[in-house]
Chains A and B, each alone.
Chain A
Amino acid sequence: MQLELSPEDQAFREEMREFFTTKFPQEIRDAVIAGRELTKEQHVESQQTLNAAGLAVPHWPEEWGGRGWSDLQRHLWTEEMQAAAVPVPLAFNANMIGPVLAQFGSQELKERFLPPTANLDIWWSQGFSEPDAGSDLASLRTTAVRDGDDFVVNGQKTWTTLGQYGDWIFTLVRTDPDVKKQAGISMLLIDMTTPGVEVRPIELIDGGHEVNEVWFTDVRVPADLLVGELNSGWTIAKFLLGNERVGVAPVGTTKRVLAQAKEYAGAQLDDPFTRARFVELENELLALELTALRVVAHSEGAEPHPASSVLKLKGTEIQQAVSELVLDLAGPAGLASGDGSGVPEWARHAAPTYLNLRKASIYGGSNEIQRQIIARTILGL
């Protein structure tokens, strides 16, 4: 057992820290620290800055921009990015469709899509969930029927995060209704400007429009935009959802927010109960960070460490608890969340952030699904 990082990993960590804190647009970092919603342009500028430095898609295969880093280095990259309030590369591009295309796409699809995906020249949306197929994803009903050189797509997707910015959407569609529900699914890439695609915003409890419904009405999609084999969509979806062992617990971000919260607290930090609340959260977060390190230190080229399923479950719980602490620190000032308010910006964003983060224990496989995974696959129940 060894506490310190190797000299190489320590140097790597410092290199990351230096880049994120000195070579990255300060105004974007300030926006993240203040809890402001980023504009599309800021997301794009952020990712393009990272991509130019080779830091947007380091986990991709090397021929498509990957860096061949170890799991521990990827962990350090993510943590330093979050600690420096640098927005992480757009998950739909960097963590979802990119690795999928690199693994399952034809050479033609790779060449056409991977470079602009890494550079966020194309903004991808995710078309998985449907009104009756959330955690039970295989129940999806959006259909794609072959017609000549095209598929014709009909149906509805929902919870399409930032779909209003989307250029393309990677979509799970039912291509064979007559087999076991997992067996008849395919993945199609759909240009969102195609006639028949309609994006409708969903207003959320925090007052924002972060998610959307996407409707498909007789949308014609060229058949060469099928990813992998016909009816192999379930395999691809499992790869997409399962290949993310690093960065599932937003430890770096939560740590930064908790540290900032000490500044927000001001004189409230003299209250022993407030102090105790900070200590409990800090300790849980420390335990989580160490668990993440155990997982990445262990999983080099091997099966995932069983404790990896703890990360999403506990990571989102702590993230939510920290947002709750910040809201409580704001107290009555948190009511002043309107545009004309003069209270500090963090206090104005406290309640919307608290409400928005309720999603964290629902998305990406709800925390109940995570408990089921632990119970079944780890504990054998």
Chain B
Amino acid sequence: MDFTYDDEQVALRDAVRGLVGKAYADFEQRRRTVADDPGFSEKVWAQLAEMGLLGLPFAEEDGGVGAGPVEIGIVAQELGRVLAPEPYLTSVVLAGGLVSAAGTPEQRAEVLGALSAGERVLAFAHDEEGSRWSSAATAVTATRDGDTWTLSGVKEPVPHGARADLLVVSAALPDGGTGLFLVDPAGAERTGYRTYDGGRAARVVLESTPATPLGAPGQDLESTIATVQDIGRIMAGHEALGAMEVALAATTSYLTSRKQFGVTLNTFQALTFRAADMYVSLELAASLVQWATMVLATGDAARTADAAARAALQVSRASRHVGQEAIQLHGGIAMTAEYSVGSFAAHLSALDHLLGDGQFQLSTLAARVADHRALDPLETSVG
């Protein structure tokens, strides 16, 4: 049992912090970056690729680095600290993760090699009207004609769907189940727009759009999607931890500098106690996310699903608490787009809703609550 980073992991953290910390040293830079399409910095994306971070999760034979979940979590957390708008979570962890998990060796080498090199941005087109974080697809359907596959239907919102060079699309298979397809976006109609946290998403309309099955044609990949979503939940947790750390630090700093009634705000105990409670929320969430990351490293999908849901529930609760209190304790300044702290709350909310919010996780876990007598984080299997 050990919750500390080793020397290499600390070096990785410092290197990522150095890179993105410089790129987004002042919040104004992030504002300028998200103001223009594609909503992130192609230059920073290339730098992330040069540092090997875009290929971090993928096997070396696929052009990646072959690092583990702890390292990917470190990157996500550092990006979260500066609200880096680069699509690491959606392009690398989700879309890349699916190619890594389901692709043929040729697909993996081609797609992940280009992704790792920063030459190709991927998007995972999965959400559909009315679907709430399901691992299945229903509204977009796949049709087979011999060896040729086409997709029809609407995917929305697709994070970074307008900028993406390649779409990984989920679709209902003719014989049941959910398949995954690689789609050249040239064959789709894409309408891009801004999301409330400064990100980008798109409406993607497919009409008999040519598609290449990811992995073996016709294979039901719903459980693969579910596992990659679980990985995404844990990594989104890391991103949220980074954002919460900084939102709390900004709040404590503000409380010690802002004066009202002739004294600094930390003179008022009602305010300092609320900041203390923010710290409690953050620490408890950090413990669960770190644990879930270690569970993920064991490679056990069932345990990971449970741990991901638990981490996501705790992070959802903490994100809302920390985000909301950060705004309230700052007062009106936090409502302005020029000041950073409101953007942290916005991004925390977006992360919360990307892969399943607290109520969704609670509902999932509640269905299984009678299956075990007590939870034991040290046992090798969930009872």
B partners with A: yes
User: Which residues of A are at the interface with B, using a C-beta cutoff of 8 A?
Assistant: 1-6, 9, 13, 72, 255-256, 258-259, 262, 269, 272, 275-276, 278-280, 282-291, 293-294, 297-298, 307, 310, 313-314, 368, 370-372, 374-376, 378-381
Could you tell me which residues of chain B, from 359 to 379, have a CB within 8 Å of some CB in chain A?
362-363, 365-367, 369-370, 373-375, 377-378
Q: Kindly specify which of B28-36, B94-102, B162-170, B283-291 makes contact with the partner chain.
A: B283-291
B3 interface hit (Cβ, 8 Å): yes
- Ranked nearest first, the 5 interchain pairs of A and B with the lowest CB-CB distance are A3-B294, A290-B287, A375-B272, A287-B284, A374-B276
Contact A3 B297 (CB under 8 A): yes
- Residues of chain A with a CB closer than 8 A to B280's CB: 310, 313-314, 374
- Residues of chain A with a CB closer than 8 A to B294's CB: 1-3
Contact of B284 among A256, A291, A368, A375 (CB under 8 A): A291
- Residues of chain B with a CB closer than 8 A to A4's CB: 1, 378, 380
State whether A259 and B374 are in contact (beta carbons under 8 Å apart), knowing that A287-B287, A290-B287 are contacts in the complex: yes
Please count the residue pairs between chain A and chain B whose beta carbons lie under 8 angstroms apart in the complex: 142
Chain B 39-72 against A: per-residue CB contact (8 Å), 1 yes, 0 no?
Answer: 0000000000000000000000000000000100
- Residues of chain B with a CB closer than 8 A to A314's CB: 280, 284
Report the minimum CB–CB distance from B1 to chain A (whole Å): 5
Interface residues of B, count at CB 8 A: 49
- Residues of chain A with a CB closer than 8 A to B366's CB: 272, 275-276, 278-279
B5 interface hit (Cβ, 8 Å): yes
| 16 new A-B contacts at CB < 8 Å, known A279-B365, A294-B3 | A1-B2, A1-B4, A3-B297, A255-B374, A276-B366, A278-B369, A284-B284, A286-B288, A288-B284, A293-B1, A297-B1, A310-B279, A370-B276, A371-B273, A374-B276, A381-B255
B141 interface hit (Cβ, 8 Å): no
- Residues of chain B with a CB closer than 8 A to A371's CB: 272-273, 276-277
- Residues of chain B with a CB closer than 8 A to A368's CB: 273
Listed by A's residue number, 12 A-B pairs whose Cβ atoms lie within 8 Å are A1-B3, A3-B1, A279-B369, A288-B287, A290-B287, A290-B290, A290-B377, A293-B287, A297-B3, A375-B266, A378-B279, A379-B276
Give B277's nearest chain A residue, CB to CB. A371
Give A2's nearest chain B residue, CB to CB. B2
- Residues of chain B with a CB closer than 8 A to A376's CB: 272
Contact of A276 among B291, B293, B362 (CB under 8 A): B362
Per the bound structure, the CA–CA distance linking A30 and B255 in Å amounts to 51
Give A275's nearest chain B residue, CB to CB. B366
Which of B298, B363, B367, B369 neighbours the largest number of chain A CB atoms within 10 Å of its CB?
B369
- Residues of chain A with a CB closer than 8 A to B349's CB: none
Report the minimum CB–CB distance from A283 to chain B (whole Å): 5
B116 interface hit (Cβ, 8 Å): no
Contact A287 B4 (CB under 8 A): no
- Residues of chain B with a CB closer than 8 A to A374's CB: 276, 279-280
Chain B 154-185 against A: per-residue CB contact (8 Å), 1 yes, 0 no?
Answer: 00000000000000000000000000000000
Per the bound structure, the CA–CA distance linking A203 and B366 in Å amounts to 40
Contact of A1 among B256, B293, B313 (CB under 8 A): B293
Which of A5, A6, A307, A372 neighbours the largest number of chain B CB atoms within 10 Å of its CB?
A307
B126 interface hit (Cβ, 8 Å): no
Contact A381 B297 (CB under 8 A): no
Give A282's nearest chain B residue, CB to CB. B375
Contact A294 B287 (CB under 8 A): yes
- Residues of chain A with a CB closer than 8 A to B228's CB: none
Report the minimum CB–CB distance from A272 to chain B (whole Å): 6
B308 interface hit (Cβ, 8 Å): no
B295 interface hit (Cβ, 8 Å): yes
- Residues of chain B with a CB closer than 8 A to A286's CB: 288, 310, 375, 377
- Residues of chain A with a CB closer than 8 A to B298's CB: 3
Which of B297, B367, B377 neighbours the largest number of chain A CB atoms within 10 Å of its CB?
B377
- Residues of chain A with a CB closer than 8 A to B363's CB: 276
Contact A1 B290 (CB under 8 A): yes
